[in-house]
Copies of this chain bind each other. A is one copy, B any other.
Amino acid sequence: MSQTRQLHLGAILEGVGTDQNSWRDPALPSDASVNIDWYIENAKKAEASLFDLVFIVDSPYITPDTAPHFLNRLEPLTLLSALATHTSRIGLVGTLTTSYWEPYNVARQFGSLDHISRGRAGWNVVTTGLEGAARNYGRDEHFDHAERYDRALEFVRVVQGLWDSYEDDAFVRDKAAGLFLDKSKLHKLNHKGKFFRVDGPLALQRSAQGQPVIFQAGDSDAGRNLGAQIADGAFAAAQDFEAGQQYYADLKNRAAALGRNPDHVVVLPGLFPTLADTDEEAQRLHATQEEALSLDKLLVGLGRAFNYHDFRQYDPDAPFPDLTGVTLNSYKGHAEKIIRVAREKGYTLREAAWHLGRWKSPFIGGPETVADEIERWFTGRAADGFNLRVTNPRDFQIFRERVVPILQKRGLFRTRYEADTLRGHLGIPVPENRNASPLAEAAE
């Protein structure tokens, strides 16, 4: 493993995209979100450019106004499993909610993906922001925000316990002697907690990287605390350099305060660039994209953080509305930030939708400019790397062919894979097997 700090890159494979108009790009297949060939093609491109991982976002609730990619898309675990055998080095990370799954099933599926990919699986742990999801799972109301995070912590610990059901040398597989398993090396979990009771064991040995890598993206106080406890990697939401630095320092401090090595929590903000040959062209492109935005859809985007609260009911040119009674139980960190910023800046609703109802990227420019900004975030400890949104074919191509070589020339990014597993790429150690027998260890 290389000694100097290295930039990490993820590719968010987002099909037709989660903003308003990306699906209309002539070069993008309009069924990309349900087209396995599009995903395979782009995962291979990311791997050819030595990215650490591809990432599949997810959520279990839609309305007719939901953004195009969310409306109709492949499910992360099935999709990532299909990608696993068309790639050999790149990490495969998917979102899955701890609010509406069983730990035993999650342990099996991510564990299985980790075997199929030979040690490249990652799980982005979320608690589900959208309250409407509850009604797809037999509940009238979504779990309370604080309870969601308590459940998530216990859920992850159960899953990790199940992943260690077998000691690493449990399977003898001696055909002549007729001994398949050393039964003494299979361990039940016998977990009884506040939210879950799971006896185990899991019918799966550990993988080439020991266990799948854990990611977390929560931005609220509870979300950051969860990340500090469980996350090997954090998908940060920072949209400018200063916010990036604050989040970075805060999360690493929280992890260190828990006795963890802060280098083992890799912070990867989203990177949604507008790229062109020159800065001027990129700015022109960006202006064109801005002009094509519809206020109606920006208002829907703004409402997503409030469980799709319908902001179209208000006068857009009146001050940002009073949201007393509107839920903050969805994407709490993001919703609180919208209210706070709108008040601080004295935004009208139209202005709030424009500035806060979508992802605004500071990464607009030609290859050198975007590489400079990436380097600034990296060296300024606002990021350990980035998660690049892959929708627009032009942006992805320029990034791979023009930006990555600049980052490599500057010694920031790898020029070949040095590891075979996702943990290896990220510099995250293989977790000790909690059922490792002391004798076996001593003998090694």
Binding site for B on A (CB under 8 A): 16, 21, 23-26, 30-31, 34, 36, 40, 60, 62, 64-66, 68, 70-75, 77-79, 81-82, 84-86, 100-102, 104-105, 108-109, 111-113, 115-116, 132, 135-138, 166, 171, 173, 175, 178, 180-181, 183, 186, 196-201, 203-205
Q: Give Cα A36 to B105, complex, Å.
A: 19
Q: Are B203 and A108 in touch, CB under 8 angstroms?
A: no
7 closest residue pairs by CB, A with B = A81-B81, A75-B112, A30-B173, A135-B199, A64-B183, A78-B81, A78-B112
Complex contacts, A198 vs chain B, CB 8 Å = 135-138
Q: Give Cα A183 to B166, complex, Å.
A: 50
Complex contacts, A204 vs chain B, CB 8 Å = 34, 72-75
Q: What are 15 A-B contacts defined by CB distance under 8 Å? A: A23-B173, A23-B180, A25-B175, A26-B175, A30-B180, A36-B116, A62-B203, A70-B203, A74-B115, A75-B108, A78-B81, A78-B112, A101-B105, A104-B136, A138-B198
Q: Are A136 and B64 in touch, CB under 8 angstroms?
A: no
Q: Are B105 and A100 in touch, CB under 8 angstroms?
A: yes
Complex contacts, A62 vs chain B, CB 8 Å = 201, 203
| Given A23-B180, A82-B84, A138-B196, A205-B104 contact (CB < 8 Å) | no
Q: Give Cα A100 to B107, complex, Å.
A: 14
Q: Which of B82, B101, B166 contacts A82 (CB under 8 A)?
A: B82
Q: Are B136 and A200 in touch, CB under 8 angstroms?
A: yes
Taking the full assembly, how many copies of this chain does it contain?
A: 2
| Given A34-B204, A60-B104, A75-B137 contact (CB < 8 Å) | no
| Given A73-B204, A79-B81, A137-B40 contact (CB < 8 Å) | no
Residue of B nearest to A193 (CB): B138
Q: Give Cα A419 to B26, complex, Å.
A: 32
| Given A82-B85, A205-B72, A104-B100 contact (CB < 8 Å) | yes
Instruction: Say how far A82's CB is from chain B's closest CB, in angstroms.
Output: 5
Complex contacts, A178 vs chain B, CB 8 Å = 21, 24
Complex contacts, A171 vs chain B, CB 8 Å = 31, 72
Q: Are A102 and B104 in touch, CB under 8 angstroms?
A: no
Q: Are B113 and A78 in touch, CB under 8 angstroms?
A: yes
Q: Are B138 and A197 in touch, CB under 8 angstroms?
A: yes
Complex contacts, A21 vs chain B, CB 8 Å = 178
Complex contacts, A34 vs chain B, CB 8 Å = 115, 204-205
Q: Give Cα A104 to B86, complex, Å.
A: 28
Instruction: Say how far A53's CB is from chain B's closest CB, in angstroms.
Output: 17
Q: Give Cα A146 to B165, complex, Å.
A: 32
Complex contacts, A77 vs chain B, CB 8 Å = 77-78, 81, 109
| Given A36-B116, A81-B81, A203-B73 contact (CB < 8 Å) | yes
Residue of B nearest to A135 (CB): B199
Residue of B nearest to A294 (CB): B178
Complex contacts, A30 vs chain B, CB 8 Å = 173, 175, 180
Q: Give Cα A181 to B68, complex, Å.
A: 8
Q: Give Cα A77 to B94, complex, Å.
A: 15
| Given A23-B180, A70-B203, A178-B21, A78-B109 contact (CB < 8 Å) | yes
Complex contacts, A203 vs chain B, CB 8 Å = 62, 66, 70-73
Q: Give Cα A180 to B68, complex, Å.
A: 7
Q: Give Cα A186 to B64, complex, Å.
A: 7
Q: Give Cα A291 to B100, complex, Å.
A: 49
Complex contacts, A166 vs chain B, CB 8 Å = 72
